[in-house]
Chain A
Amino acid sequence: MLIEVLIAACLLGAAITFLAPDRVAGRLAFAISLVPVVVSVYMYSVFDGTGNVLLQGGQPAFETTVEWFTLGAYQLSYHTGLDGISMPLIALSTILTTLAILSAWTPIDERQSQFYGLMFVMEASLIGVFSALDFFVWFVFWEAVLIPMYFLIGVWGGPRRKYAAIKFFVYTNVASLVMFVGFFTLVFGLGDSIASLGLPEIAQALNRGALGSVYGLSGDAVALIAFVLMFFGFAVKVPVVPLHTWLPDAHVEAPTPVSVMLAGVLLKMGTYAMLRFNFTMLPEVATALAPYLAAIAVISVIYGALLALAQQDLKRIVAYSSVSSMGYVILGLVAYTVYGLGGATFQMISHGLISGLLFLCVGVIYNTTHTRMVGDMSGLADRMPVTVGALVAGSFAYMGLPLMAGFAAEFFIFVGTFDAGFAGAPVFTALAMFGIVIVAGYLLFALQRTVFGGFFSATDYPVREAGVHDLVPLVVLVVLIVVLGTAPDIAFAMIRDAVGPILDLDAAGYASVETLNALSALGGVQ
C-alpha cells in the first residue's frame, strides 16, 4: 500500500496546490512534498524485496494487486511492487522533486499554484512508472509524464518554449507509439501462453521460450523486431545520438526546477525501461546485438561530450553532458554482466543526483547574474562561494573523482564492460573511457573561465550569494553524492540483488557468480 500512499499524496498535493493562492503555493508545495520523501525513505529503510520482480523467484516489496478488467483473454490488474532496481529510483524521484520545488521559489514568479500542481502530477507519474508491474498501468504512467512536462516547459520556459515543448511532446510521443507497437508484437507472439499483460508473466514466458510466430514471422524475427522497436522507443527518451536533438532544446528552454526533473529522473525512464523490457525480457537478442548497441552507446558518450565541449552556454554544457552520461548507462546494460547492469542502474541514480546538482547550480547562477554564457562572467567564486563550491563539487563528481557517486558508477560500468563477452568489449570500454577525458576538459574549461579569476559580470545585476532556500538543495545533493560515493553499497547491494537473476537466465552465460565474487574482492565494494 505504501506505493499507493506515495502516489495519492502526490495527486492530493497536486489538487491542493493547484487550488491554493499563488503566494502560498511554493511553501505549501514544499511542505506537502516532504510527505513522499519521508515515506520513500522509510520504504528504503524497511525494504525487503528479493531478486528481480520480473523473474522467477523475485519477490517485490510493497506489492499491490487489484484486478482491473479483462481484455479478451487477458486479465489486466493494477499491479505495483518494488525491487532493488526500482526502489532507489523511487527515492531519487521523491528527493529530487522536493529539491526542485524548493529551488523553484526564486525563478517561478507567475502562476505558481499551477506550476507546483504540475510538479506533483509529474512526481506521481514517475513513481508509477518505476513501480508498475502491469504493462497497462505502466504505460498509463509512462504517457502521463509527458503531459505535465509539456506544460512545464511550454508555460514557464524561456523564449523558445513553445517550440521546445512541442518538439519534446512530438518526439517522445512518437517514440511511445513505436514502443507500444513493439511491445504488442511480443504479446501477439506469445499468444495463448500468457493470461495477463503483467510484466513478470510476460518476462517469464519469454524466458521460457514461449514466443511463437506472428503473421508468418518466426519467433526469432518477432523477438528481433520487438527488441528494435522498443529500443528505439526508449532510446528517444534516454536520449541516444542521433535521437537526442529534443533534449538540448527542452533543457535550455525549461526553467531550472524542470531541467532538474528532466535530467534527474525523466531520462532514467528510458534506461529503466530498456533494462526491464529489452535486457530482461529478450536477453538473446540483447547479446546478439551487443556490439551494435555498444557502438551506439560509445557514439553517444563521445559525441555528446564533444557537443558539450563546443557550447558556450552553461546550461547547454550540462544538457549535452547528459547525452554522454546516459551513453555510459547503455554501455553498462549492453555489457550484460553483474557490474555492467548494476553499474548502469547505479549510474542512473548517480547521474540523477549529479546532473540535478549541476542544473541547480546553473539555475542559481542565472538567477543572480541573469546570464548563462561562459564569456559573460568570471570570478564568481568570490561573490557566491557556496554555489561555486557546489558547482565545483558537482563537476568533480561528474568527472569521476573518487569518493563521489560518479566515480563508483563509472567504475562499476567499466569493470563490467571490460569483462563483457561480446566482440571487442575492451575496445569499446577504452573508447568510452576516453569520454571522461573530454568531460574533464569541458567542465574544467567552463569552471576556469566562470568561477575563477578576477570578478567580472557582463550584466548589471548585483552578484551576491543566493538565499538559503536556494542553497539548501545544493548542499543536500552534495552530501548525497558523497555518501553514495563513499558507501555505494547503500544502493548497490540492493541493485546487485535485483540484476543478478537477469544473468542467470542468459543462455550464453557471460557473467558467472565467480567473476562477481572475484570482482567484489578486487574492487573492495562490499
Chain B
Amino acid sequence: MIPLQTTELSGLVALAPTLAFGLTALGLLVVDSIEPEASNRGLLAGLSVVGSLLALLATGFVLFATGGEPVRLFGGQLIVDGMSLFFTFIFASVTALVSLASYDYLRDTPYQAEFYALVLLAATGMSLMATSNSFATVFVSLELSSLPSYALVAYLKRNRGSVEAGIKYFLIGALSSAVLAYGISLVYGVTGSLLLPEVASALSGGVGDGLLGVLGIGVLMIVGGVAFKTASVPFHFWAPEAYEGAPAPISAFLSSASKAAGFVVAFRVFVTAFPLEANIGVDWVLAFQVLAFVTMFIGNFAAATQENVKRMLAYSSIGHAGYVLIALGALTGAGDSGFILGAGMLHLVVYGFMNTGAFLFVALVEYWGVGRTFEDYNGLATQAPVACVAMTVFLFSLAGLPIGGGFLSKFFLLMAAVDGGVLLLAAALVINSALSLYYYSRVVRAMWIEDPSTPFDIESYPTGLYAAVVAAAVVTVALLPALGLFSDVAFEAAATLF
C-alpha cells in the first residue's frame, strides 16, 4: 500500500494548478464572509490575480517536474499530462487577465467577491475538464465550469441584455448538458465503461451489429455537447447573445478559456475513447470536417454583417472555433496526428491572448461609456493611442497578419489541413482569413482613421484594464517569435495521445 500512498501524494501535487484555482475561490468566499459589507475591490481582485498566477506557476512546476509524463489519479478518472497542463496554462493566463481587468470594470457593482469566486470556480472546472479521463469527470467538470458561467453572464442583473443572455445561455446549456449526458449513457450502455481508455479497449473488439447504431448516436450526441461548449455550429446560437450581454471581461473569459476547455475535452475524448481504427458506427472525423467548414463560414459571414463590435467579436470567435475544429477534422490518419492536434492547441493558446485582449479592450471602451458600435469607436486613437495600438495588434493577429502569433498558429492549422489531406478545409481557412480581415480592419479604421462622430472626452485611464490589455498585446506579439517555446510542448503533448 505504501507505493500507492506516495502516488496519491504526488498526485495531489500534480493537481496543484486545479487546487490553486479552487482554493482561491474558497478563499475569496472566506474574505467575503469576514467582511461582507466592506467591498475591498483591490483585495478581491488582487487575490484572484495572485491565485491564477499561482496556478500558472504550479502548471509550469508540474510540467517541469513530470516532463509531461502522464500522472493518473483516482483510478484513472483524472490524468495530468502535457495536454492538460498546456490547457491549464491557457486557463490560468486568461483568468489572471480577466481578474485584473475586472478590478476596474466592476467598480460600482455589488457582489464582487461572488463574481471573482465564480470566475475562479469556473476556472477550476475548466482545468478539471483538461484532466478528465472519464466520461463521468468530463460531465461533472463541464457542469462545474458551466454553472458559474451562467451566473456570470447574468451578473449585471439590472441590465436586461445581461439577464436575457444569461437565461438563453442557461437554457441552451441545460439542453446540451442533457444531450451530452444522454450520449454518454448510450456509450456506457454499449461499452460498459466510462473511463476513456477502457471505452477504447471495449471498442477494439468490435461491438454487436445491433448496438453499433446506438453507439453512433451516442458519439454524435457527445459531438453536440462539445459543439455547445466550443460555440460551434449548430450549438452556437447562445454565443453572440451571451458574449454581448455578459460583462465584457466575462465575454473574454468565455470566448477564450471556456472554448479552449471544450476543445481539450473534444481532443481527449475523441482521440482516446474513439480511436480512428475502431468501428463506432459514425465517422466522427467527417462530422468534424463538416462542422469545421460550416462553423468557419457561418461565423465569419455573420461577423462581417455586424454593426456592433462586441457582437462582431462574438461571431468571429465562432469562426475561430471553426479553425480549431480543423485539428479534429484533419485527423484522417493520412498525416502526422500529433502535429495536427498540436496545431489546434497552438491556435488556442495564441487565441487565448489575442481574443481575451480584444474583449478586454471592449471592456475598456464600455468602462469609458463610449458605446459599442463601429461608429462609436471612431477616433478613439486620438484619446487612447496606446490601448488602440494594442487593439490593432489583437485584430490584425486574429485576422492572421504576421504582427502577432495568430499568423503562425493559423499557418500551422493550414499545414495541418494539408497534411491531413483535407484541402477543402485548407482552402476554407484561407478564404475565411481573407474575409475576416475585412471586418477586423473596420474596427482599426474606425479607431485610427475616422474622425470622432460624437465628441467624447476620456477622463480616466483605469490601471487594471490598461495593464491587462497591454499585457495581452505584449504576449500576442511575443508569441510570434516565441511560438517555438510552445510548439514543442504542444506537439509532444498531442503525440502522447496517439
Contact = CB atoms under 8 A, between A and B. Distances in A.
Given A143-B401, A147-B403, A174-B434, A71 B412 contact: yes
Contacts of B484: 67-70
B478 interface: no
A72 B412 CA distance: 9
B488 A169 contact: no
Nearest to B442: A166
A140 interface: yes
B147 interface: no
28 contacts: A18-B385, A67-B484, A68-B484, A69-B483, A69-B484, A69-B487, A72-B339, A111-B382, A114-B381, A136-B408, A140-B402, A140-B480, A143-B401, A144-B402, A144-B403, A151-B449, A154-B445, A155-B448, A155-B449, A161-B449, A162-B449, A162-B450, A165-B445, A165-B449, A166-B441, A174-B434, A177-B430, A181-B430
Q: Which 3 residue pairs of A and B lie closest in terms of their CB atoms, listed nearest first?
A: A69-B484, A140-B402, A154-B449
Interface string B339-380: 100000000000000000000000000000000000000000
B415 interface: yes
A136 B405 CA distance: 13
B448 A154 contact: yes
B396 A147 contact: yes
Contacts of A367: none
Interface of B: 336, 339, 381-382, 385, 389, 392, 396, 401-403, 407-408, 412, 415, 418-419, 430, 434, 437, 441, 445, 448-450, 480-481, 483-484, 487-488
Interface string A174-209: 100100010000001000000000000000000000
Contacts of B401: 143-144, 146-147
Nearest to A146: B401
Given A72-B336, A173-B437, 6 more contacts: A68-B484, A78-B481, A114-B381, A151-B448, A161-B449, A162-B445
- What's the dominant secondary structure at chain A's contact region? helix
Contacts of B480: 140
A86 to B, nearest CB: 20
Interface in A127-164: 136, 139-140, 143-144, 146-147, 150-151, 154-155, 161-162
A494 to B, nearest CB: 30
Contacts of B382: 111
B429 to A, nearest CB: 12
Given A140-B402, A143-B402, A169 B385 contact: no
Contacts, number: 64
A181 B427 CA distance: 10
B343 to A, nearest CB: 10
Contacts of A70: 484, 487-488
Nearest to A114: B385
Contacts of B408: 136
B486 to A, nearest CB: 9
A177 B407 contact: no
Interface in A5-37: 18
A139 B402 contact: yes
Interface in A67-119: 67-72, 78, 111, 114
Nearest to A188: B418
Contacts of B339: 72
A69 B336 contact: no
Contacts of A140: 402, 407, 480
B403 A72 contact: no
Nearest to A69: B484
A194 to B, nearest CB: 15
Contacts of B449: 151, 154-155, 161-162, 165
B488 A69 contact: yes
A68 B481 contact: yes
Interface in A47-78: 67-72, 78
Nearest to B487: A69
Nearest to A141: B402
A190 to B, nearest CB: 14
Contacts of B381: 114
Interface in A360-398: none
B443 to A, nearest CB: 13
